[in-house]
């Protein structure tokens, strides 16, 4: 038995070929471990409706039921609407199932096959009808599943496929999953075994098992998180780190070079970071600040301090695009200061890369920017003294192990925009290790946000055209639609073509996930230097394009986005001192979506929105298991699971850390998963 089995490449799982592997990778699923922790966002439970009698009682409510497909058809309704309709046989009762604007569903509906659907049941003169919210095709072997898991999906993957692959992982790999909580502790905290938990979360025999599994997995996440922090901290405490120089000449020149005056919060955070850097203990600091709070400048100051004392810095971002952004921002901030900044990008030519790595090794490069791959790659520095990790909207935690592999005890600063409650951040990270950017740069006007029915999209675009005429710029974002990559492209592409026709005077650009790294870079650069005035894009811009001239963000089909995402998207505008606008085009199909959009109209504050998000998801979310947009935890809900968090605090205190540290398998598991559940 070895946990290595859990971290193999996903392609070795039965049912995963090269094409599947790519699709799964796109969901962030690279190993059997990832699949085991790919938590269903909901379950379809057909135990409620069974006969005509109780079906009639359930009209107006959300129901789940298993039916047999009799026939399927699709038709257009108006210019923008396509309706797919299936006639189902449900225990002898005819029911119509309706999908709006998902034409690709049609070809999945094969007569004679079984399908699980869920949605609000309507009863009219024409009979029963369900507006489908979730569905999953069912094989005969699965017909007796008491509860069918519904997974977050991506283009080309169906529920059935994901379910099968995960079941194969359960069969082949679950036995290797380590139990880290012993019997007596499990009893004390009322926890089931980890293997049972993983089996039940994917295939719960009943609601109780699903709840029990969820509780254990939430506990596991928090425990691993705490253990990995405890490991990191105690490792850091024991060892001597770098005492950065107190000489601030370069920092002062950088401050003089900035096009703005630092906010009080930026100043305070910098001083806290400086104190850590000067101390002989390795820094382990979290910098928290909402989108647009100005984290980059603080990072730049820290790097200036390192460079002033002759140390190199590495800055890591979660995506290529964001790394490119940081690179450009830093170049601008350091302009004329004789600091050598380089970007190691994926699209960088091999010869150029070799040159760069050589220069890095010889100490000619002061600041290296790249993705998180920087620390995995064979990159060696001459005097690495500071690592900055930009987690964007994840709740950051250190990655000291992989960094330690570089052989140096450098200082680490993690930046995050995750608005988690202050008390909780402190309990996880500790007061002395957290800096807050709780003050926005001055002159920011709150972004004006409006929801507009898609029928009135033209008004939104006319408004955008007006802003563009005044020299401003705009983003137009289309959602990624689960299960159909073609449609995503078509959506963004169609919109792009339409807008070109409607507004020939505007120079438009297109950006989507299937473009090469270079093309993406080109599009973003043209947008930044205003050759492109309005950028039509799929959600790739979410990760942090910084263009202060952009004043309009239009989100197509805004109901498809979570609050966290909408807030991140909106954070792309309003970065200068012009009034900025966010227009959410939407005809919300559900109450939840309506509440989310309303929350967006009413608040610009990430923390307030996070709270609202949880409130909205509360009752509507069957088990609190929908994807947690604001934190990296997959199961744990930082607000509702306070009892689990407290219980876990207690457990950690009674644990013998050395025991875990000395079992190499467990130590590896803990450090990988502790980060995995929070960082990945």
Q: Which residues bind Mg ion (CB under 5 A)?
A: 295
CB atoms within 10 A of CB 144: 8
Alpha helices in 334-365 (DSSP H): 350-361
Q: Report in angstroms how near the CB of residue 440 gets to ligand ADP at its nearest.
A: 9
Helices assigned H by DSSP within 365-484:
373-376, 400-404, 422-429, 457-469
Q: Does 292 bind ligand ADP (CB under 6 A)?
A: yes
* Residue window 533-552: x/- pattern of binding to ligand ADP, with contact defined by CB under 6 A: -------------x-x----
User: Counting contacts by CB under 6 A, is residue 573 touching ligand ADP?
Assistant: no
Relative to beta strand 473-477, strand 434-437 is unpaired
Exposed, middle or buried: residue 262 (CB in 10 Å: 0-12, 13-18, 19+)?
Answer: middle
Applying CB under 6 A, which of residues 289, 318, 324, 396 lies at the interface with ligand ADP?
Answer: 289
Could you tell me how far CA 380 lies from the centroid of its own chain? Answer: 29
Does 520 help bind ligand ADP (rule: CB under 6 A)? no
Nearer to ligand ADP, 32 or 544 (CB): 544
Question: Residue 585: phi, psi to the nearest 5?
Answer: -85, 120
Q: Give the one residue of 102, 203, 296, 639 binding ligand ADP; rule: CB under 6 A.
A: 296
Smaller CB separation from ligand ADP, 297 or 609: 297
Q: Which is nearer to ligand ADP, 437 or 499 (CB)?
A: 437
Q: Using CB distances below 5 to 8 A depending on partner kind, what does residue 251 bind out of ligand ADP, Mg ion, none? A: none
Stretch that binds ligand ADP, among 20-28, 62-70, 247-255, 294-302 (CB under 6 A): 294-302
Q: Which of 567, 574, 659, 655 is nearest to 613 (CA)?
A: 567
Smaller CB separation from ligand ADP, 115 or 540: 540
Please say which residue, 409 or 568, places its beta carbon nearer to Mg ion: 568
Contact between 263 and ligand ADP per CB under 6 A: yes
Number of residues that bind ligand ADP (CB under 6 A): 17
Question: CB of 371: closest distance to ligand ADP in angstroms?
Answer: 16
**SS3 label, residue 606:** helix
Candidate ranges 92-100, 258-266, 562-570, 648-656; the one touching ligand ADP (CB under 6 A) = 258-266
Q: Which stretch binds ligand ADP (CB under 6 A): 254-262, 549-557, 597-605, 668-676?
A: 254-262
Minimum separation from the CB atom of position 371 to Mg ion (A): 14
Distance CA 169, CA 36 (A): 7
DSSP string covering 216-237, please?
HHHHHHHHHHHHHHHHHHHHHH
Nearest to 203 by CA among 163, 174, 152: 163
The rounded distance, in Å, linking the Cα atoms of 620 and 623 is 9
In whole angstroms, how close is the CB of 292 to Mg ion at the nearest point? 8
**Which is closer to ligand ADP, CB of 294 or CB of 309?**
294
Q: 282 touches which of ligand ADP, Mg ion, none (CB within 5 to 8 A by kind)?
A: none
Would residue 86 be called left, alpha or beta, if left means φ above 0 and alpha means ψ between -120 and 50 degrees?
Answer: beta
**Beta carbon of residue 138, minimum distance to ligand ADP (angstroms, whole number):** 44
Question: What is the pattern of x (binds ligand ADP, CB under 6 A) and - over residues 430-449?
Answer: -----------x--------
Choose the contact partner of 262 out of Mg ion, ligand ADP, none; CB within 5 to 8 A by kind: ligand ADP
Q: Compare residues 385 and 606 and give the one whose CB is closer to ligand ADP.
A: 606
Which CB atom, from 548 or from 588, has the smaller least distance to ligand ADP?
548
Q: Which residue is nearest to ligand ADP (CB)?
A: 294
How many Cβ atoms sit within 10 Å of the Cβ of residue 121? 22
Nearest-approach distance from CB 20 to ligand ADP, in angstroms: 36
Q: How far is the CB of 249 from ligand ADP (least distance, A)?
A: 21
Question: Which of the ranges 108-116, 288-296, 350-358, 396-404 carries the binding residues for ligand ADP, by CB under 6 A?
Answer: 288-296
CA dist 547 and 571 (Å) reads: 11
Residue 159 or 604 having the CB closest to Mg ion: 604
In the set 40, 67, 204, 294, which binds ligand ADP (CB under 6 A)?
Answer: 294
Query: If binding is defined by CB under 6 A, does position 260 make contact with ligand ADP?
Result: yes
Q: Which stretch binds ligand ADP (CB under 6 A): 101-109, 292-300, 399-407, 665-673?
A: 292-300
> Please, which residues bridge with residue 411 across strands?
386
Which lies closer to Mg ion via its Cβ, residue 488 or residue 542? 542
Please state the closest distance from residue 295 (CB atom) to Mg ion, in A.
Answer: 5
Nearer to Mg ion, 388 or 511 (CB): 388
Least distance to Mg ion from the beta carbon of 267, Å?
18
DSSP state of 93: E
CA dist 541 and 552 (Å) reads: 13
Name which position in 23, 136, 154, 266 contacts ligand ADP (CB under 6 A). Answer: 266
Quick one: tokens of 222? 């928090």
Q: Which residues are CB-neighbours of 492 under 8 A, at least 6 positions away?
A: 478, 510, 512, 536, 537, 538
Residue whose CB is less far from ligand ADP, 204 or 294 = 294
Contact 547, 532 (CB under 8 A): no
- Residue 289 binds which of Mg ion, ligand ADP, none (CB < 5-8 A, kind-dependent): ligand ADP
**Nearer Cβ to ligand ADP (262/404):** 262
For residues 18 and 34, what is the distance between their CA atoms, to the nearest angstrom?
Answer: 17
Q: How far is the CB of 438 from ligand ADP (least distance, A)?
A: 12
Which residue reads 């920017």 in tokens?
Answer: 369
Radius of gyration of the chain (CA): 26
Q: Which of 487, 476, 669 is nearest to 585 (CA)?
A: 476
Rounded-to-integer distance, Cα 593 and Cα 586, Å: 9
Whether the Cβ atoms of residue 393 and residue 630 lie closer than 8 Å to each other: yes
> By 3-state DSSP, what share of the chain in percent is helix, strand and coil, each rounded to 5?
45, 20, 35
639 makes contact, choosing from ligand ADP, Mg ion, none, with CB < 5 to 8 Å by partner type, with none
Q: Which is nearer to ligand ADP, 436 or 503 (CB)?
A: 436
SS3 string, 521-545, reads: HHHHHHHHCCCCCEEEECHHHHHCC
Q: Which residues contact 626 (CB under 8 A, 6 or more apart)?
A: 41, 42, 617
Answer for the pair 582, 3: CB distance below 8 angstroms, yes or no: no
Is residue 574 a contact point for ligand ADP (CB under 6 A)?
no
**DSSP secondary structure code for residue 108 in this structure:** G
Footprint of ligand ADP (CB under 6 A): 260-263, 266, 289, 291-297, 441, 546, 548, 575
């Amino acid at each position: 038995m070895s946990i290595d089995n859990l971290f193999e490449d996903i392609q070795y799982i039965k049912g995963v070929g090269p094409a599947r592997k790519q699709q799964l990778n796109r969901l962030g699923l690279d190993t059997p471990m990832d699949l085991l922790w790919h938590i269903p966002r909901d379950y379809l439970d057909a135990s409620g409706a069974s006969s005509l009698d109780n079906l009639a009682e359930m009209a107006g409510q959300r129901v789940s039921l298993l039916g047999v497909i009799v026939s399927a058809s699709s038709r257009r309704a108006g210019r923008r609407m396509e309706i797919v309709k299936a006639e189902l046989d449900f225990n002898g009762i005819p029911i119509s199932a309706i999908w709006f604007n998902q034409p690709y569903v049609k070809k999945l509906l094969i007569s004679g096959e079984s399908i699980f659907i869920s949605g609000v049941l309507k009863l009219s003169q024409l009979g029963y009808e369900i507006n489908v919210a979730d569905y999953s095709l069912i094989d005969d072997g699965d017909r007796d599943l008491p509860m069918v898991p519904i997974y977050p999906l991506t283009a080309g993957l169906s529920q059935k496929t994901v379910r099968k692959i995960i079941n194969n992982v359960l069969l082949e790999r679950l036995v290797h999953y380590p139990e880290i909580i012993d019997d007596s502790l499990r009893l004390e905290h009322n926890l089931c075994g980890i293997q049972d938990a993983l089996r039940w979360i994917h295939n719960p025999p009943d609601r109780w098992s699903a709840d029990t599994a969820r509780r254990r997995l939430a506990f596991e996440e928090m425990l691993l998180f705490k253990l990995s922090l405890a490991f990191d901290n105690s490792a850091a405490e024991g060892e001597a780190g770098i005492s950065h120089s107190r000489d601030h000449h370069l920092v002062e020149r950088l401050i003089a070079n900035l096009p703005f005056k630092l906010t009080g919060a930026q100043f305070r955070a910098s001083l806290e970071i400086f104190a850590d850097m000067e101390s002989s203990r390795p820094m382990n600091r979290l910098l928290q600040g909402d989108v647009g709070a100005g984290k980059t400048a603080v990072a730049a100051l820290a790097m200036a301090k390192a460079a002033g004392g002759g140390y190199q810095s590495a800055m890591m971002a979660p995506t290529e695009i964001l790394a490119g952004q940081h690179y450009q921002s830093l170049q601008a901030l350091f302009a004329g200061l004789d600091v050598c900044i380089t970007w190691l990008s994926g699209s960088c030519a091999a010869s150029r890369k070799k040159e760069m790595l050589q220069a890095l090794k010889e100490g000619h490069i002061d600041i290296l920017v790249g993705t998180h791959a920087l620390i995995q790659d064979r990159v060696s520095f001459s005097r690495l003294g500071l690592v900055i990790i930009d987690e964007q909207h994840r709740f950051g935690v250190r990655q000291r192990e992989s960094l330690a592999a570089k052989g140096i005890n450098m200082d680490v600063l993690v930046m995050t925009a995750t608005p988690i409650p202050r008390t909780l951040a402190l309990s996880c990270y500790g007061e002395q290790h957290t800096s807050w950017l709780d003050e926005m740069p001055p002159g920011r006007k709150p972004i004006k946000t409006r929801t507009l029915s898609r029928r009135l999209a033209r008004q939104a675009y006319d408004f955008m055209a007006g802003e563009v005429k005044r020299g401003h710029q705009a983003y137009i974002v289309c959602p990624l639609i689960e299960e159909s990559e073609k449609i995503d492209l078509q959506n963004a592409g169609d919109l792009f073509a339409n807008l070109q026709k409607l507004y020939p005077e505007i120079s438009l650009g297109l950006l989507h996930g299937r473009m090469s790294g270079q093309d993406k870079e080109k599009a973003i650069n043209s947008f930044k230097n205003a050759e492109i005035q309005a950028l039509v894009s799929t959600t790739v811009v979410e990760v942090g394009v910084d263009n202060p001239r952009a004043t309009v963000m239009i989100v197509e089909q805004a109901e498809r986005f979570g609050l966290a995402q909408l807030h991140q998207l909106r954070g792309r505008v309003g970065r200068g001192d012009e009034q900025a606008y966010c227009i959410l085009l939407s005809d919300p199909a559900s109450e939840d979506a309506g509440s989310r959009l309303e929350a967006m109209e009413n608040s610009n504050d990430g923390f307030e929105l996070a709270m609202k998000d949880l409130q909205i998801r509360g009752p509507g979310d069957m088990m609190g298991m929908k994807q947690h947009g604001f934190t990296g935890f997959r199961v744990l809900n930082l607000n509702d699971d306070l009892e689990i968090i407290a219980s876990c605090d207690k457990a950690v205190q009674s644990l013998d850390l050395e025991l875990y540290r000395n079992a190499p398998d467990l130590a590896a598991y803990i450090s990988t998963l502790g980060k995995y559940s929070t960082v990945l």
